[in-house]
Structure 1
Amino acid sequence: MKFNQITVKASVLATLSAALLLAAAPASAHCDGVDGPVIKAAQQALDTGNVNRVLIWVQASDQAQIKEAFRKTLDVRQLNPAAKKLADYSFFETLVRVHRAGEGAPYTGIQPAGRDLGPAVVAGDKALETGSVEPLANLLTKAVHKSVGGQFKDVIAKKNFKVDDVAAGQEYVKAYVGYIHSVERIYEATEGPAHGDAKESPAAAHQH
């Protein structure tokens, strides 16, 4: 019995250690979804006419392309409701494609709202919305609370940037993406398949 307890504890520690190492690696998220942060930012940018709301989601070298696409979209939107709908969707596709390319990820289209992204992504976003990391920390276990809490505080500290301060906005996005990647990787590692029956989780089926 004692040997089994030691084995279980060692296994848990190994899993948590692996989770912390994997946290720095790219993970799946929801930036390509209709209900994701990139398209939400695009909708706000188009509604307010302020392209800076989306420039934070792309690399500096891609900003000119997004500005041009944004300008053309605003022009087409004025024609009629049907043209507005098509122009908006085209801009969403361009923005998501460029954003993903900047992260070295392929563009696989705009994904529908309400996808099962796994509890980590949902909990991560919810923590930022409510300003409380405790539910998320409980999900990931106390063993990784320090790591997750540190990233959470960094995102919160950078969250309320001025909309026209693109550099500060990009710092927020960098912290946000790293934070979301970490919480998802840690959760998946602690919930790994038993008996070596490795299967890809629903959330890992798409790359961010």
Structure 2
Amino acid sequence: MRKFPLPALLATILMGLSTLPLAAHCDALDGPVVTAARQALAKGDVNPVLAWVKGEDEAQIRAAFARTLKVGALGPEAKELAETYFFETLVRVHRAGEGAPYTGLKPAGLDLGPAIPAADKAMASGDLKPVFELMHGVLKPGLEARFKEARATRSQATSDPASGRKAVAAYVDFLHYVDGVYQAAAGGGAHAEGAEAEAHAAPAKPEPHHQH
């Protein structure tokens, strides 16, 4: 049985959830990282932003914060330039800590699709139900379509090898779609990879139903 890459399956599932990478949320001028930076600068307290960087990067952010406050005291224009410098530094270090490249600050008001706003709203309200409904609405069509295709091609398969291959291909697509979603939801990692390998070590090939 051919094994299809799980990341490709997950990308298909999640495509409808957001029109932009999650990075755009963190990099935006109205995103959580810059929002925390604005609050820190307004209070003169660096602590609100330190949670967004790794411990080994804390000294760098503290130094940048101190420089920003010092330069910002020179006047409005200097303050604007200094704050932009701090926003860029903080976001760049945050992204590096995630192992991701920094591509510059993004403007406020970006269309992030439905998923990220829904998740943020759930965090604020404490109600996760809308997120469950959103995820279900995206998963259900893909799951149903693959299931129906696998069932249909199996029932219509004949002794012709091409017909059998079509049935097997649809079966494999359905199987890996389900497994890919499950592994991602279960957390992935080494344990999930081991379970996946075991599950597919000796896959059962569906027997074509012969039509007379």
Bucket of the pairwise TM-score, normalised by the shorter protein: 0.5 to 0.7
Task: State the superposition RMSD in angstroms.
Answer: 2.8
Partner of 1:121: 116
Amino acid at match of 2:37: A
Secondary structure at 2:27 match in 1: coil
**Alignment length (residue pairs):** 127
Query: Residue in 2 aligned with 1:86?
Result: 81
SS of 1:97's partner is helix
| Separation (CA, whole Å) in 2 of partners of 1:28 and 1:128 | 16
> Given the alignment of the two structures, is residue 28 of structure 1 paired with residue 38 of structure 2, yes or no?
no
1:57 positional shift: 0.3
Q: Distance in 1 between matches of 2:138 and 2:26?
A: 28
Q: Which amino acid aligns with 1:85?
A: E
Describe the SS at the equivalent of 1:141. Answer: helix
Looking at CA atoms only, which structure, 1 or 2, has the larger radius of gyration? Answer: 2
Equivalent residue, structure 1, for 2:58: 63
The residue type equivalent to 1:119 in the other structure is P
Superposed displacement of residue 53, structure 1: 0.5
Task: Name 1:100's counterpart in structure 2.
Answer: 95
How far residue 101 of structure 1 moved from its aligned partner, in angstroms, is: 0.4
What's the secondary structure of 1:106's corresponding residue?
Answer: coil
2:36 maps to 1:45 = no
What is the CA-CA distance between 1:28 and the residue it aligns to?
A: 2.2
- CA distance in structure 1 between the partners assigned to 2:65 and 2:91 by the alignment: 13
The TM-score, its normalising length taken from structure 2, stands at: 0.55
Q: Which has the higher contact order (CA 8 A, sep 6+)?
A: 1
- Shift of the alpha carbon at 1:142? 8.3
**Structure 1 residue runs without a partner (length 5+):** 1-14, 145-181, 187-208
Q: CA deviation at 1:51?
A: 0.6
TM-score after normalising by structure 1? 0.56
- In 2: Cα distance, 1:98 partner to 1:106 partner: 10
SS at structure 2 position matched to 1:94: helix
Q: Deviations over 1:58-89 (max 9, x none)?
A: 01110000000000001111111111111001
Paired residue type of 1:43: R
- The AA in structure 1 aligned to 2:130 is P
> Would the alpha carbon gap of residues 143 and 109 (structure 1) be closer, same or farther in structure 2, given more than 3 Å must change?
closer
Which residue is equivalent to 1:200? Answer: none
Identity %: 55
- Distance in 1 between residues matched to 2:51 and 2:27, nearest whole Å: 15
Q: Give 4+ residue runs of structure 1 displaced > 4 Å after superposition.
A: none
